[in-house]
Amino acid sequence: MEANRPPNRPLRRLRRLRRSETIRAMVRETSLTPDKLILPQFVVDGEHRCESIEAMPGRSRLSIDETIAECRKAIDLGVRSFALFPALDPALKTSDAREALNEDNLLCRAVQAIKESCPSACVVTDIALDPYSDKGHDGLVDEHGVILNDETVDILAKMAVIHAKAGADMVAPSDMMDGRVAAIRNALDSAGFADTAILSYTAKYASAFYGPFRDALDSAPVEAPNVPGDKKTYQMDPGNAREAILEAMLDEAEGADILMVKPAMPYLDIIARLRDRTELPIAAYQVSGEYAMIKAAARNGWLDESECMVESLTSIARAGADIILTYAALDYATWWQKNRC
């Protein structure tokens, strides 16, 4: 048989499994369903508030009642998990970030209201000081401009307990302080919240892709004497990959339940490396800059929005992410439902 094969005719034709959408779907290696997505939400005080975020088309700062309405819409589409970020009145921001420990603060009220209205929702809360600090940093800043690691960790652990009391299913330390996962785990367990999970921002890079997010929360470092103008002393250097493995090993040993890489697409190699080194679920955050680039290009007619957003999210899952935080969660779920039918 082989002797009679015409020259230059391939034995294996990979195109056989590409000839129809039905066959392509059957052999597809990566299939991303809406229940693997987490929708980040920006919460503001008041009622019936919906403030569009110019740099993030399609996303808004929402009051608690409007946030609940969006949660219900998302759940109907199959997106059942939500990450909450409070956009506070600047008057509540202080050097000691004390509003973070107010059990009746905006975030805690939002968690309680969502869990009451949408019991099936998985609510994830951000553990960091930048929304509450008048310096715009994730940790406390001393008079010399040094970010105080251990003093910050003490506050973060207390924050986590307060969020768990409010009903948070997961707490997500995004601060990148050393030792905070262990401190949070110990605090939760001691307070009777052993079932509250920790989604750790394990490899959070000092990225330029966070700009629209910081505008949405007004959480960028402030320009003031003895206040660092960036977060490079505690977030990871974009040139480092092996360091991400060290961060992951530490977080896993300290009790993290899920490890996260942020941003996602510029760091697909990091997602893949962590996937090869741990059995824990891997999350990735398609951050505001990634989202905004696709939206802006689509608005200018340079890209097909749905095709590019789906391809982008699929690439993140293909790299090894089990869970993706994305501002496009509702869009993706809508497209997925449409194509499914």
Looking at domain 32-340, which CATH architecture does it have?
A: Alpha-Beta Barrel (3.20)
What value does the mean pLDDT of the chain take?
A: 94
Separation CA 253–CA 241 (nearest Å) = 19
Please tell me the predicted confidence (pLDDT) of residue 80: 97
As a whole number, mean pLDDT of residues 214-241 equals: 91
Q: Is 61 left (phi over 0), alpha (psi -120 to 50) or beta?
A: beta
Question: Which pLDDT band, with edges at 50, 70 and 90, does 341 fall under?
Answer: low
Which class for 206: exposed (0-12), middle (13-18), buried (19 or more C-beta within 10 A)? middle
Mean pLDDT is lowest, of 131-135, 288-292, 336-340, for 336-340
As a whole number, mean pLDDT of residues 48-68 equals: 96
Question: Which pLDDT band, with edges at 50, 70 and 90, does 21 fall under?
Answer: confident
**pLDDT of 2 higher than 90:** no
Please tell me the predicted confidence (pLDDT) of residue 265: 96
And the tokens for 48?
């019936």
Whether 31 contacts 310, CB under 8 Å: no
**pLDDT of 28 higher than 90:** no
As a whole number, mean pLDDT of residues 140-158 equals: 97
Mind listing the pLDDT tens digit for each residue in 287-306?
999 999 999 999 999 999 99
Domain ranges of the chain: 32-340
Please tell me the predicted confidence (pLDDT) of residue 6: 65
pTM, full prediction: 0.94
Question: Which pLDDT band, with edges at 50, 70 and 90, does 217 fall under?
Answer: confident
As a whole number, mean pLDDT of residues 222-234 equals: 93
Separation CA 203–CA 151 (nearest Å) = 21
Question: Which pLDDT band, with edges at 50, 70 and 90, does 340 fall under?
Answer: confident
Residues 93, 135, 204, 295: which is the catalytic one? 204
As a whole number, mean pLDDT of residues 276-290 equals: 96
Identify whether 204 is a catalytic site residue: yes
**pLDDT of 5 higher than 80:** no
Please tell me the predicted confidence (pLDDT) of residue 4: 63
Residues 93, 135, 231, 262: which is the catalytic one? 262
**pLDDT of 56 higher than 70:** yes
As a whole number, mean pLDDT of residues 206-210 equals: 95
Separation CA 308–CA 59 (nearest Å) = 18
